[in-house]
Chains A and B, each alone.
Chain A
Amino acid sequence: MFDGALDKYLFVYKTRIIRSFTYKFEVYGNILMQVIIMITTAFFWKALFGSETFGNGITADSMLTYTVMSSVLSVLFTTGVERRMQQSVEKGSIAIDMMRPVNVFGVFLAEDLGSLTALLVQNLLPILLLGSLLIQVPVIASPSAIPLFAVSLVLSMGINWLMAAIFGMWAFTAISMDALFQAKKHLIRLLSGSIIPIWFFPKWLADILNALPFVYIYQLPLDIYIGSATDEEIYSRILLQLVWALVLAALFCLLSKRVLKKVLVQGG
């Protein structure tokens, strides 16, 4: 029964992959943007560090790895769910989703996973290659960290998607969301350690950020990758990450049922 129920979402996923490959040019812009971000950040770290070593054993080399991996991970944190929800409300296409025997959010998730799969080839691979060529080959600090990195990365992607979905639900009751989506995007960039690791922030600020979900998107998997935290630290932080994932999942379940009843359908 489970297989049967999942089959339709699997097909939505497959269809989205086919679709993603029909838009070839849309994705190149992001490669260019990520390369520019990587290069400027890399110069910044080189100038700042020189040949010195930072407190917790961080060298310029590990910061370059951090930079390249941050750009690579940013591809995995691409979500379409907010825009999808906004457009379905603006253009009224939510009607099409609602008239089918599917869980609407299940479809959104399957679509995002489909786009993501296509992006692995279209975006992640080129960015990894260009980063390796132009800056540095990002090698993981220790091979034994790979399983932990994988676990925390999956949780990161979950948190990131859930935050996007919960945020996108606003669009179901209010119509114009562009400014808020932009604000959220930049807030995540700043507060998640995607550009500047939060251990560079003053302690009080870092403490606050550690309590928020944002750092569990970029910072934690990157810390594991470059080996800038002890094992114990990592375990306790993965636990916190799991807690945030569960809290957001619960909030998502609660809101998604309510929000569908409030759908506004625009037009004809």
Chain B
Amino acid sequence: MITVRDLYKEYRVTERGRGLGGTLKALFKQEEKIIKAVNGLDFYVGKGEIVGFIGPNGSGKSTTIKMMTGILAPTSGEVLIDGRNITRYRKEAVRDIGVVFGQRTQLNWDLRLEESFELLRHIYRIEKKDYRETLEVMDSILGVGELLNKPVRQMSLGQRVKGDLTAAMLHSPKVLFLDEPTIGLDVGSKYALRKFIKEINAIKGTTVILTTHDLGDIQELCERLIIINGGVMMEDGNLSEIVERIAPYRTLAVEYYDAVVPEHAKAEILSVSDNVVRYKFMKADMTAAELIRDLSELYPIKDVGIEEAGIDDIIRIAYEMKK
């Protein structure tokens, strides 16, 4: 559905020195600097996938999304949406995509929601019948029906995002791009949004590309994660695979009846406090049950606890990795 091939984007920025002196100097001589925002990305997204596209601030993920949606032209490389180059055939290719930016709206601030939708109906030349059907489906998932007569400027953020989601789905796109859609939303609205993504993916088979900083979004929605940093791909795979790769270890905390510190050949001792000893071991080497069995043969065990690397740890580690 989406092919990203050898994608690069360079920006030319003019630098200005500090203070008044630097400003004056910039009038005569500007120093140019080239920033490589995206540095050779290659991936493929199949039909019906929900892909989390994540990376720290300034990692190039927004730039990539903008190139994938036809807004920015790549310096080199190409993005194909359903086999069509989006830069060269922008007007045709964007019919297949819907885009929602959490931080800006495509709705018209001064109009009622329905008037914005009508404008889109004409822009995408959607048949009245299809338009009504889509609107009904969206109403059943998001409850936008009651908002249709409301001017957009009077809406809460949650209502506005619902409006934007509906607007992006009116022309039944094959791919839906969501750029930080949950930013600033309350718990209820976030829940509605996640439910919406799952349902349109199930009902319409829409492919979803999602950028987010919200771990809940990642955990609940994304079967596949693409992590980028510094404009290059760091990880690509499903969540458990990535966890496996980045943190192939577990931690076992064992509480003994006495202050003893038994060692194990395949486990590393992380810390000792009172009667509790924490062991780190590789999942590939042995199971937690084996370790517990071995240790219990040495000393009687009172209690055990297994700690997994949390998803936030995984993301943090991935962000800190350098290729």
Residue numbers of A with Cβ under 8 A of B are 4, 7-8, 10-12, 15, 18-19, 22-23, 91-96, 98-103, 260-265, 267-268
Contacts and interface: CB of A to CB of B under 8 A. Distances in A.
B73 interface: yes
A268 B70 contact: no
Interface in B38-76: 62, 66, 69-73
A212 to B, nearest CB: 28
Given A7-B122, A11-B122, A268-B180, A99 B71 contact: yes
Interface in B68-115: 69-73, 90-92, 94-95, 97, 99, 101, 103-104, 106, 108, 110-111, 115
A268 B103 contact: yes
Contacts, number: 77
B115 A96 contact: no
A19 to B, nearest CB: 5
B253 to A, nearest CB: 42
Interface of B: 11, 62, 66, 69-73, 90-92, 94-95, 97, 99, 101, 103-104, 106, 108, 110-111, 115, 118-119, 122-125, 179-180
A96 B104 contact: yes
Nearest to A102: B123
Contacts of A94: 71
Most chain A beta-carbon neighbours within 10 Å: one of B66, B71, B97, B125: B71
Given A15-B119, A18-B111, A263-B72, A96 B106 contact: yes
Given A8-B125, A11-B118, A268 B95 contact: no
A94 B97 CA distance: 17
Given A15-B111, A267-B103, A99 B70 contact: yes
B123 A8 contact: yes
Nearest to A175: B14
A89 to B, nearest CB: 12
Given A261-B73, A265-B66, A268-B180, A95 B104 contact: yes
Nearest to A92: B104
Nearest to B109: A19
A96 B104 CA distance: 9
A201 B290 CA distance: 100
Contacts of A263: 71-73
B94 A101 contact: yes
26 contacts: A8-B125, A11-B122, A11-B123, A12-B119, A12-B122, A19-B110, A23-B110, A92-B104, A95-B66, A95-B104, A96-B106, A98-B71, A99-B71, A99-B97, A100-B124, A101-B94, A101-B124, A102-B91, A103-B91, A260-B73, A261-B73, A262-B73, A265-B66, A268-B62, A268-B101, A268-B179
A92 B69 CA distance: 14
Contacts of B90: 98
A15 B108 contact: yes
Contacts of B11: 264
Given A100-B124, A263-B71, 14 more contacts: A4-B125, A11-B118, A12-B119, A15-B115, A18-B115, A19-B108, A93-B104, A94-B71, A96-B106, A99-B99, A102-B123, A260-B73, A265-B71, A268-B103
